[in-house]
C-alpha cells in the first residue's frame, strides 16, 4: 500500500524514509489508481464483489497483531502498529510540551529582563523637567547678577 519513492521499502535504507514514503500509485485516484484495489488487492485486474471485506479485515488484523520491531527507537519492543502509533504520538506530544514549557520560561525571563532594564533606564520626561528647573534657576541667577552689576555701575557712577 505504501512505497518508498515508488519502489519497495528497503529495510536497510530507513534513514529519510518519512520524506520518501507515499501511497502506492495503483490505489491513489489522483495518480490514475483505483481505490477498489484496497478491497480486492493491489495486483487485481478486475473489480471484485463490493461486499467483500476479507482483504480489508486482513489489513486490520495485521495492524492490530503484535510483532517485534527491529529498528528505530522501538527496537526490541513487541507491540501492535496502533500501539506503536500511540507511543510515537505520545513521544512527540511530550517533546512539544517540553518545548512549550521552555518557550514560556524564556518569554517570562525576557519580560523580567526587560522590566529590570526599564527600571534602571532614563525617564526622559522627568529629566526634561529637571533641566527646565535648572534653566529657570540659571536665568534667575543671571538676572540677579545683572541687577547687582547695574547697581554697582550706578554706585560707581555716582561716586565719580
Confidence category of residue 130, pLDDT binned at 50, 70, 90: very high
- The most confident of 38-42, 108-112, 120-124, 125-129, by mean pLDDT: 108-112
Q: What is the mean pLDDT of the chain?
A: 87
What is the Cα 90 distance to its own chain's centre? 18
Confidence of residue 143 (pLDDT cuts 50, 70, 90): very high
Q: Cα 88 from chain centroid? A: 19
**Separation of CA 4 from chain center:** 29
Percentage, residues of the chain above pLDDT 70: 99
**pLDDT over 80 (residue 86):** yes
Which of 12-16, 41-45, 107-111, 152-156 ranks highest by mean pLDDT? 107-111
| Confidence at residue 123, expressed as pLDDT on a 0 to 100 scale | 77
pLDDT tens readout for residues 19-52: 898 888 888 889 888 888 888 888 888 888 888 8
* pLDDT score for 14: 82
CA quadruple 119, 121, 126, 130: dihedral positive or negative? Answer: positive
In whole angstroms, what is the distance from residue 108 CA to residue 121 CA?
20
Q: Which residue has the cell 547687582?
A: 148
Confidence check: pLDDT of 144 > 80: yes
Q: What is this structure's pTM?
A: 0.46
Amino acid at each position: 500500500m505504501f512505497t518508498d519513492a515508488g519502489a519497495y521499502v528497503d529495510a536497510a535504507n530507513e534513514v529519510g524514509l518519512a520524506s520518501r514514503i507515499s501511497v502506492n500509485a495503483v490505489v491513489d485516484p489522483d495518480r490514475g489508481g483505483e481505490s477498489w484495489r484496497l478491497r480486492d488487492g493491489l495486483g487485481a485486474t478486475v473489480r471484485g464483489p463490493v461486499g467483500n471485506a476479507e482483504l480489508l479485515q486482513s489489513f486490520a488484523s495485521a495492524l492490530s497483531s503484535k510483532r517485534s520491531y527491529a529498528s528505530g527507537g522501538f527496537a526490541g519492543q513487541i507491540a501492535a502498529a496502533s500501539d506503536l502509533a500511540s507511543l510515537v504520538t505520545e513521544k512527540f506530544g511530550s517533546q512539544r510540551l517540553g518545548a512549550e514549557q521552555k518557550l514560556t520560561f524564556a518569554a517570562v525571563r525576557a519580560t523580567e529582563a526587560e522590566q529590570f532594564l526599564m527600571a534602571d533606564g532614563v525617564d526622559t520626561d522627568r529629566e526634561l523637567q529637571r533641566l527646565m528647573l535648572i534653566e529657570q534657576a540659571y536665568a534667575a541667577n543671571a538676572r540677579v547678577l545683572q541687577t547687582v552689576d547695574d547697581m554697582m555701575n550706578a554706585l560707581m557712577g555716582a561716586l565719580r
